[in-house]
Structure 1
Amino acid sequence: MVLDRLAEKGLTLNREKCEFGLSKIVFLGHVISSEGVKPDQEKIKAVSETRTPSNSSEIRGFLGLANYCGRFIPNFSTIAATLRELTMKNTHWSWTKTPGCNAADALSRLSQNQACRIRHIADVYAHFITDNAVPKALTIQEVRQKTSEDRELVEIMRRIKTGHGRLDPKIRTVEAELSVVDGIVLRGSRIILPKCLRRQTIQLAHEGHQGIVRTKQRLREKVWWPGIDTEAARFVRTCQQCQLSSNNTRPEPVRTTVLPDGPRQDLAIDLMGPFPSEEYLLVVVDYFSRFQKIAIMKKITSEKDHSST
């Protein structure tokens, strides 16, 4: 999938600098794997084995090293508060074992708890997205039940979980965005609804007889399926209440002017302006010969204009 995306964007790689089939990689002091991002053990070891600082300058160096992993340590600012106080001017230097141990202990526990913590955050976030993507008047239990009965969505879930299964071409174009959360299929943060709930959802989005654009906007906020825009537009156009309340006045059809038998029988006259020069153009065209006469006017009132040419 990564190579396909690189080829799609026209990017090339140096094969000698590439590694394939890895379960994890170390990048800029972070370990990236299927479990998420966590600090490199070498960084944690460097902090844990740092010698006891003897002055404020060494404290600053230690904090700089610890800050590299600070984003992974809960309440890091509180833990390091005592150390920061020792770097301030006019502060009496007094080192005890406690501040150093606080930082080192937090880092040692980090490697054990980080994976579970990342998975927990991901699960909470995914369920939050799913709960908030359910349209009004529908329940998450109803969506989950109907999803399990929809053959197309069942096939999509099988494809996501196992990598096997056939996908509709329109679904295949967004395959990289698909996920499954608690029996519900998502495209990004939007639910892919089963077919039996789609018309009901369009009716909800059209509540208040919104126009086509507004109805589509409401749908896009929470749900998606192939052809959603087309179905929404068709539903709004066939809404009887909207048709009755809309203005059905049609413009008069354009009529072709009958060509006269000779010149100077029918003339077309039009006034253009004002232009930036505060002048106007009076244009006269003969329908038969197409002869044109143009006069530049500074006034367009009934008073005589001596400036015309």
Structure 2
Amino acid sequence: MEFTIDTGDHPSIYIRPRRHYHPDIQSKIDAKLSELERNGIVSKVNFTDWGFPVTAVPKPNGSLRICGNYVKLNAITKTIKYPFINLYHALQSLGNAKYFSKIDLLSGYFQIPIAAADRPKCALVTPNSTYVFNTMAMGMKNAPAHFQLLMNQVLGDMRYRTAIAYQDDTILFSDTFDNHVLRLRKLPTRLREANLTVNIEKCQFGLNQINFLGFIVSDQGVHADMDKVTPIANLRALTNIKEVERLLGMAGVYSKFISKYQVMVEPIRRLKIKDVPFAWESEQEHAFQELKRSLAALPYLKQPNFKLPFELHCDAATSAGIAVILCQRYDDTPYPLSFASRSVTKFEKNYSIRELEALAIIFGVKKFRMYLECNQFTVFTDHSSLQWLLNTDADKQPRLWRWCPFLQAYDFKVIYVPGKVNHAADTLSRAAIHAIASHHPDIDWAKEQRLDPMLRPYFNNTNVKYTKHKIVDGILYKVENKQHKTIATDMYIRVPSHLVADLISKHHDSKFAGHGGIAKTKASLAKAHLYWTNMTHDINAYIQKCQICQRIKGHVSTNHNMTTTHGTAPFIKVAIDYFGPLPTSSAGHQYVLVVIDTFTKYVELYPTRSTASQELASIMYTQFILRHGVPNEIMCDNGNSLGSQFTQQVARYVDINIVYTPPYHPSANGIMERFMKTL
């Protein structure tokens, strides 16, 4: 079957080669082209309307793979659409085979001829000569699809039943050794009829396990090739979005082996959100390390046996997501065939717990439809009311009622398994709890909680569940139903009292918190699933003492509806206050005394060493009163230096009425407050 290159009526393309190569590389290119010419793979030509530069790709053994830079040729070539095999479908088609052989073709692409009319289109131009490919080569558009089509035609009725081909790798599998020998005799005959030659040095025969598409396949099931997993374990903290995409691409291949994969990588996946600054923090690092640990302990997945019934174990949690496990039983023990999970959307977080658990069933049935349709299966859930899911009343549960027609097409029964014995579905629940605890991975919650005398009694109380608390993995959680039977249960870590200040600081002072107010800080703590009694009071007290907030943010005060009066003539009524403390001057001054005439807005500033009332009275008498006269009133706040001692000191010199602004009403001395902002 010849390979064709359909470029339509597009004119020919000719790209000049590089003028010079390194002498060693040039000699290797010439030697390789001469070898290909001797083997009939390329032919030397004198003239051609088409031409593309040579691409020399180093191979592990030090030799070169000669290809053409066919980017522009591929751009004008009509695409051949042909389906490739599904990786997991191919692996699970191996069933419970016990014997495997792997057939590798000798330079598979070079065994497929190019149509004579299309050979000039793939001409290779070097500084010394011009060649055309007689056979299909790497880098040509449609080459993979054409080769897969050929291999599927060669296998014919053997495909997926006794053999699977992916490009030039073909797996032959059997349940008995005798059947395997018969099939090994049958396959070479078909390859010979298609004029295909095998590379006997790379072929493997009659093995009990084999490496196929990066996985180890045996009669025990499918397991990841740990040589492929090692590069992920060696990765360090990621620094940009491209590295995140690379990690998710590499690890995603093994998502069906990890029960909580989607939950686990969610903190890392969030870094891909558009217009969100890239910040690799403790939450991402914890998820990264947990992913590495899971990859290092990947389980064997059993191959599906369509003669046995299937089981679907489902669970859901608003804080983690939805997870399902497809299982089959051997010796009354469920063995996993595949794992699947996903996060819940912001809308699904508003579902009732019954709707979420039903959504998990819908998700599992859709995910594993190819195994469950035309087969009776059993759904295991820890929500008892779902046993009557298909009898849902349209008026009482409209959302569930709309889902029922989809499920009615399947033959299944629902079995309720209490959460405490639902070990298979418990993987998601524990993933949800681990996701909560991972918000602050640097804290040993179980240890710290037992140091708090207020929390210690919960660990000694066997009836802790009746106090709306729950202990999981040694950590105490507060269980809260926001709206009974409407909003799914949330769990919050009980924070020991000695950690309260540090946690408020992390959620208020950090560069991502931005010194938010009481509501924002409390929301941030709630998002991290943290709780303690009197949260609002403690957050408010902390913010009131935050120097940055007090210095930058305006103060919202209670309005007492008090009017502000001004003097009726110059220096009849003056306002005073201190500004500081400031860096100490060479003369020892640290504060500035501000004096403002309320009638003319005239201001005088006096440097002072302290705010002592005796120094204040002396300055007011010697430097202000002796120059401007005695005012009728001096208006000031209730500060320590401006209190009763100041009144007594002034009374020693002159008879002046001291007026104090009332608490919570700085606007009573508004002229001073405005000038302080200017100062």
TM-score band w.r.t. shorter chain: 0.3 to 0.5
Bigger Rg, which one = 2
TM-score, reference length from structure 1 = 0.40
| Structure with the higher fraction of residues in helix conformation | 1
Superposition TM-score, scaled by structure 2 size: 0.20
Pick the structure with more strand per residue.
2
